[in-house]
Structure 1
Amino acid sequence: MQRVDVLPRFLVRKYGLFRGFLLDQRFLPRWAVLSIDLCICFFSYFITELILKDTALQANDLLTFSQRAIIIVSIHLFCFVIFRSYSGIIRHSTFTDVYRLALATASVFLISTIGGFAYRTFLGEKVVSSTSLLLYAFLSLTFLIAFRIVVKESYRFMRKTAANNSKKRILVFGVDDKSVGLAQSLMGDSSSPYRPVGFLSMSNKKLSFKIMDLPVVNCCDEIEQDLKRIKELLDIDGILLVGDNLSVSEKNRIVEKSFASQLEVYNTTLPEKWEKLSDIGVKITPIQIEDLLERNVIETDVKLISEDLCGKTVLVTGGAGSIGSELVRQIAELKPRRLIALDNAESPLHEIDLYLQKNFPGLNCQVYLADVTNRDRMEGIFSKYKFDVVYHAAAYKHVPMIEKHPREGVRANIIGTRILAELAVQYKSERFVMISTDKAVNPSNVMGASKRAAEMYVQALQHQPGVTTKFMTTRFGNVLGSNGSVIPFFKEQIKRGGPVTVTHKDITRYFMTIREACQLVLQAGTMGRGGEIFVFDMGKPVRILDMAERMIKLSGLQPYVDISIEIVGLREGEKLYEELLIDGETTLPTFHPKIMVGKVVDHDYNEICAILDELELMTNSVGRKKFIIQKLKCLIPEYVSQNSVFSELDEQH
């Protein structure tokens, strides 16, 4: 198979300087265009004389060749000036420019014919024949138009060649209609930074054929060897994976072998999902670590969720955070009657406010800069809006930070939840959906323990007399790309040149995208009867060291060679493996395959309230942190500190 190319690269380099000079010129000055046109006219007259030489139509000897040529070209100069045929930019010539040339040339023929007829009438001698004038007009017009076509097409060719050689040369994966359609879109967009040079097929059939005049290359058994051969053959820079043509395991296999062959890998959604053709540059991106996790795409019943929130007044606490802001965006698309986003982080809240104003100008929405631990402030907001649905995402979540500041963790995660839950009951909210975490399961740190205490409180509150609000808890693991999560952290370390720090070589975590997590939160909110803990199927846990190595490779670097990886030890309160269920809890399936409902242990409401009252007093007074932790451990017997200064409290029991 021969390499298919518009122009071999070695030839491009040979004339690169000349091409660059031409492309850098804005346009030829008018005097230069006029001079070239006059030279073409002189050449046309010379060809005319040459053709008619030694024929009966040859001009007489009254005037010399030079005199006749000067007269004809001078007349043409006059007509060029009259019709301004030189005023256009040659590389942008249109029918209007051709029309002007035709008028000028026709005028030359008319003036010359009339002049010759008058000369013969008054002086009785013929200066030039009508046939020669007609042949000259034809040749000059043809050469003038041809000159413009050559310049225009040469410029277009050089622009196209220059653009193509600055683009990434890619193979489009697959030979189905979707892959071919994507290649057509890319080839039709001159501004796209990618240039398809072939299609990659995983078929075992060693067939040689072309699609859209691009070769189809096979890569099946020895993928790495085949990719190296293809890279050398077609001089490609990378491979473009289209839509969901591959399973995650197959995609991982292709990516690994591509990296081994020093090829980049790109990913894109299908063209029919793009809003416009200009989305090409945005939708095609280098493949991300999120694309390579062993997870299946999660689908939710958008119609059911939309019907459930239609006409409702909805509150999202923590509405400027990673989870909260995504909840706000998804709920806004469902067009509730009113949407309130509440947070105490000013700048992120301002950003979500601008987003809502720009993307949902007709939506009745508002942002509130407020702290969920301020009871009076919260009561004022609840009394004003009387929310139908509350999504409680406000929380402190960073384990090492809350381990050092347990008062703030208890105040925000426990007391704040209690205030909101009580107000939801007081103002007859229909539903209260609390966002929890897998760190609340057999907690090993203050953050996890505080979220577990909040879970216990809303479950116990559900069973109190007169409570009509349905309290639901959603429990899931880490979300990809959230503020402070491991992926942005690793990306920043790689950007700085390393080292990438991993706390333990065997540490694993569950991962889910922010969008998927929020979709499941909304779905769970529609199915709860009250008091449930909904547990999300997070797929397989991911080894963090493997993730670090993969992210370094995705950056085009080699782990342990270009970027070092350091094992720094577990952080305060951190454990190796996260869990989704507490001992004694079991799960039951729901109609959604990714959502299970936990069968939880009941807790005494009065006992919980008594301990929470004491915790609230402790957070508002000066005292030792360990007293707060001791009280938490009394409330949550399974709370055992790990890698923490509070571990000594467990040893005392």
Structure 2
Amino acid sequence: MVTLPFFKPININTMTWDYFKKRLSHVLLNGDNDLKFRNISYLPRWAVVAIDSFIVILSFLISYLLVENLSVSFYPSLTILQQGFVVCLVQFSFFFVFSTYAGLIRHSTTVDILKIALAAISAALALMMISYGYHLLFDKKLFLVPFLAIFATITFGLMLLFRVVVKSVYQLFTNLNTKEKKRVLLLGVNDDTISVGEAMTISRNQDFDLAGFVSFTKSHSKIKILGKPIFKYSSDLYENLQPYDIDGIVIVGNTISNKQKNNIVDECLNYSIQIYNAPVIKEWNDSESVQGNIKEIQIEDLLERNPIVLDDSLINEYLNNRIILVTGGAGSIGSEIVRQVSQFNPKKLIVLDQAESPLHELELELRSMFTDVAFEFVLADVGNLKRLTNLFNKEDISVVFHAAAYKHVPLIENNPSEAVFVNIIGTMHLANLSSQFGVDRFVMVSTDKAVNPTNVMGASKRAAEIYVQALQAKESKTCFITTRFGNVLGSNGSVIPHFKKQIAAGGPVTVTHQDIIRYFMTIPEACQLVLQAGTMGQGGEVFVFDMGKPVRIMDLAEKMIKLSGFVPYEQIDIKVIGLRPGEKLFEELLNDKAKTLQTHHKKIMRAKDQVLCMEEVNNFIIDIAAAAEQQNNTLVVKRLKELIPEFLSQNSIYEELDKDVKIRT
């Protein structure tokens, strides 16, 4: 047995190289010792200058000895010490001229090497000019040309060697704990992936070890990039990778389509290979490390969504230098509308919400992000007519984005009266005030659940749509525009964050029905389309958004569990709990050509809806509001069904009302 100061007692015969590396890594990088190499972020500038000074002096001495052994006599004009002083001074002057100390040695590139070469050559040429200038004036030379050439060569060689050694030593200590890192492949062979690969190989304190690249074009069996092999993407790729102990694959930027990405993810999950996303280098967050920019792929990244092309000039035309009001501005949809509107230089942006804490947090965020925008944050309930009237009296509002609403289906099914006060009465107050005060555009955020509603929430939003359409038909100068879309990824209470919490808690993941499907859209793209739809309307239109392909929620749950590194039904169970009150099994298709018309934007369509006269709508709203004031939930739903004959309750206590409700004619 042998005991070393920083190793535990071990048997020399069992000390393999891998074990040695692991223990050395622990001691030097993580152990309780005085070295702690991982804390050395870079060589101090003074240390580099000192080492380079030593190299220049050493180069002078070596050059002097070489030339002296050639039986060549130095010019007697200057002593050797004087020559050494002048040569070193000139050489250092050119080091600073070419900024050879501008970068970190461990990140030296060919550009840095070129700077050193230019500095060495320039110094030699300058010394030659000084020598010949002195010769013209005093008929004496100062330096031997062969000596200057040898000095420049040796100086460049030693400085290059110094930088190579520093990079190699740093890389050695960085890679000592390679076995503890995730061995990953970069998908694709192009400038973007190679740049990410370089960042992975030179960065410290990161969790990834670059194992190679995957090429979609052809095999590069005889070529290596950054010293790493290139694998050909094929059907048997994953079997071929097994001997290499690959932990993950990194997809850089938008190099592949969503369809390809989904196929690759499915294959990788079958072989227990993790998938990561990384933006291209120019989009990296400078405040984060390599692992901060390379993140595990999320289910949101796998939904087949095509990028949205907006006409910013039209959006800018009705938002720039205008006073804008966003209701429900602290919510997931409203806050994103606020962020996007802020980019179009509004004269003033009024953010209204009844939720105090979210509104305060949003204020702190926006004032730091958009320092040039004049914000006003209003704590108010859209059901408070007096509060809203005071606001419209005070401000010359040009555009209203109405996103305030109660939206959770089961909760609203049990509290219909509250949906009336916010979703219907609140919309009515805002629409009336917008018309009264000459607001240019009123853009209401609605939902696909308003189409053939099966629950109170959808019916209340449909009633709000009916009211603003009737108000438009009454020859209002305000342009009333309604936008409909479905489930929004990441919004408060949506299914994906809910599943993530359940998986993090160890399951089970709960799905309401085996065959339930939903359409999904990201918050930014939904809000982009809301802004774009605001440019299209002439008044009274209902715009619906193309939500893409529907997603089976059971498939979504299974894939999310796999992406989290677990096995569905074994490590994380999935339970079917039954449809919630008012919940549909299949959402309506928003792009049904029989009910919609195309617009000039391929993702936005115009729905054809029957418009009622304002007098008739007012009578219904009065009856609905009266029932809500009485807190008579059954009567509220009954009156809603009279206004909206297509409202047929599903999985709800109000299904009985569909048998004898008086249908509007």
Q: TM-score range by the shorter chain?
A: 0.7 to 0.9
Q: What is the match of residue 638 of structure 1?
A: 646
1:568 equivalenced with 2:582 (yes/no): no
Q: Within 2, Cα distance between the matches of 1:326 and 1:528?
A: 21
SS at match of 2:267: helix
Q: Which of 199-208 and 260-269 deviates more? A: 199-208
What is the CA-CA distance between 1:604 and the residue it aligns to? 1.7
Aligned with 1:230 (options 217, 223, 241): 241
CA contact (8 A) 2:249 2:273 kept: yes
Q: Within 2, Cα distance between the matches of 1:525 and 1:154?
A: 58
Aligned with 2:215 (options 201, 216, 224): 201
Q: Within 1, Cα distance between the matches of 2:597 and 2:270?
A: 44
Q: List aligned pairs for 1:234-245, cutoff 5 A.
A: 235-245=245-255
What is the CA-CA distance between 1:631 and the residue it aligns to? 0.5
What is the CA-CA distance between 1:363 and the residue it aligns to? 1.0
- The CA deviation string for residues 150-172 of structure 1, in whole angstroms up to 9 with x for no partner, is 99789635531246454432100
Q: Let me know the Cα RMSD of the aligned residues.
A: 3.0
Q: Within 2, Cα distance between the matches of 1:596 and 1:102?
A: 73
- CA change 1:20–1:513 in 2 (3 A) is same
AA at the equivalent of 1:219 = Y
SS at match of 1:368: strand
Q: What is the match of residue 151 of structure 2?
A: none
CA contact (8 A) 1:432 1:472 kept: yes
Q: Within 2, Cα distance between the matches of 1:560 and 1:646?
A: 35
Relative to the length of structure 2, the TM-score reads 0.76
Q: Within 2, Cα distance between the matches of 1:490 and 1:550?
A: 11
1:480 equivalenced with 2:489 (yes/no): yes
CA contact (8 A) 1:441 1:580 kept: no
Q: Within 1, Cα distance between the matches of 2:639 and 2:510?
A: 34
- CA change 1:241–1:22 in 2 (3 A) is closer
Q: List aligned pairs for 1:277-288, cutoff 5 A.
A: 278=288, 280-288=290-298
Q: Within 2, Cα distance between the matches of 1:575 and 1:244?
A: 35
Q: What is the match of residue 50 of structure 2?
A: 96
Structure 2, unpaired ranges of 5+: 1-14, 36-42, 58-158
CA contact (8 A) 1:478 1:511 kept: yes
Q: List aligned pairs for 1:365-404, cutoff 5 A.
A: 365-404=375-414
SS at match of 2:326: strand
AA at the equivalent of 1:20 = H
1:16 equivalenced with 2:22 (yes/no): yes
- CA change 1:101–1:421 in 2 (3 A) is closer
Aligned with 1:266 (options 267, 276, 281): 276
Q: What is the match of residue 107 of structure 1?
A: none
Q: What is the match of residue 292 of structure 1?
A: 302
- The CA deviation string for residues 256-303 of structure 1, in whole angstroms up to 9 with x for no partner, is 111111110011222233364857444321111111112222222233
Relative to the length of structure 1, the TM-score reads 0.77
What is the CA-CA distance between 1:219 and the residue it aligns to? 2.5
1:579 equivalenced with 2:585 (yes/no): no
Aligned with 1:607 (options 595, 601, 616): 616
1:317 equivalenced with 2:327 (yes/no): yes
AA at the equivalent of 1:216 = I
Q: Within 1, Cα distance between the matches of 2:23 and 2:45?
A: 19
Q: List aligned pairs for 1:202-601, cutoff 5 A.
A: 202-203=216-217, 205=219, 207-222=221-236, 226-233=237-244, 235-274=245-284, 276=286, 278=288, 280-465=290-475, 467-580=476-589, 586-601=595-610
- The CA deviation string for residues 227-251 of structure 1, in whole angstroms up to 9 with x for no partner, is 2431422x32200012222222211
- CA change 1:575–1:25 in 2 (3 A) is closer
CA contact (8 A) 1:442 1:639 kept: yes
AA at the equivalent of 2:540 = G
- The CA deviation string for residues 452-475 of structure 1, in whole angstroms up to 9 with x for no partner, is 00001001100113x100000000
What is the CA-CA distance between 1:16 and the residue it aligns to? 2.9
Q: Within 1, Cα distance between the matches of 2:335 and 2:354?
A: 13
SS at match of 2:175: helix
SS at match of 2:653: coil
Q: What is the match of residue 129 of structure 1?
A: none
What is the CA-CA distance between 1:517 and the residue it aligns to? 0.2
Q: Within 2, Cα distance between the matches of 1:208 and 1:151?
A: 27
What is the CA-CA distance between 1:97 and the residue it aligns to? 6.5
Q: Within 1, Cα distance between the matches of 2:296 and 2:447?
A: 30
CA contact (8 A) 2:513 2:576 kept: yes
CA contact (8 A) 1:585 1:599 kept: no
Q: Within 2, Cα distance between the matches of 1:638 and 1:432?
A: 26
Q: Within 2, Cα distance between the matches of 1:267 and 1:157?
A: 24
- CA change 1:583–1:218 in 2 (3 A) is closer
Q: Within 2, Cα distance between the matches of 1:473 and 1:447?
A: 16
CA contact (8 A) 2:24 2:176 kept: no
- CA change 1:154–1:405 in 2 (3 A) is same
SS at match of 2:214: strand
AA at the equivalent of 1:96 = A
CA contact (8 A) 2:21 2:176 kept: no
CA contact (8 A) 1:168 1:195 kept: yes
SS at match of 2:204: coil
Q: Which of 179-188 and 434-443 deviates more? A: 179-188
- CA change 1:581–1:636 in 2 (3 A) is farther
AA at the equivalent of 2:635 = F
Q: Within 2, Cα distance between the matches of 1:365 and 1:184?
A: 43
What is the CA-CA distance between 1:92 and the residue it aligns to? 9.6
Q: Within 2, Cα distance between the matches of 1:270 and 1:151?
A: 30
SS at match of 1:490: helix
- CA change 1:498–1:425 in 2 (3 A) is same
AA at the equivalent of 1:627 = L
What is the CA-CA distance between 1:616 and the residue it aligns to? 1.8
What is the CA-CA distance between 1:190 and the residue it aligns to? 2.9
Percent sequence identity is 48
SS at match of 2:261: helix
Q: Within 1, Cα distance between the matches of 2:220 and 2:27?
A: 45
CA contact (8 A) 1:475 1:580 kept: no
CA contact (8 A) 1:508 1:542 kept: yes
Q: What is the match of residue 114 of structure 1?
A: none
AA at the equivalent of 1:197 = A
Q: What is the match of residue 121 of structure 2?
A: none
Structure 1, unpaired ranges of 5+: 1-8, 29-88, 104-144
Q: What is the match of residue 652 of structure 1?
A: 660
Q: Within 1, Cα distance between the matches of 2:458 and 2:194?
A: 50
Q: Within 1, Cα distance between the matches of 2:579 and 2:215?
A: 45
- Count of residues in Structure 1 that have an aligned counterpart in Structure 2: 539
Q: Within 2, Cα distance between the matches of 1:652 and 1:616?
A: 21
CA contact (8 A) 1:436 1:473 kept: yes
What is the CA-CA distance between 1:546 and the residue it aligns to? 0.7
- CA change 1:495–1:275 in 2 (3 A) is closer
CA contact (8 A) 2:516 2:553 kept: yes
What is the CA-CA distance between 1:590 and the residue it aligns to? 1.2
AA at the equivalent of 1:335 = N
CA contact (8 A) 1:588 1:597 kept: yes
- The CA deviation string for residues 98-157 of structure 1, in whole angstroms up to 9 with x for no partner, is 869999xxxxxxxxxxxxxxxxxxxxxxxxxxxxxxxxxxxxxxxxx9xx9999789635
Q: What is the match of residue 136 of structure 1?
A: none
Q: Within 2, Cα distance between the matches of 1:164 and 1:455?
A: 60
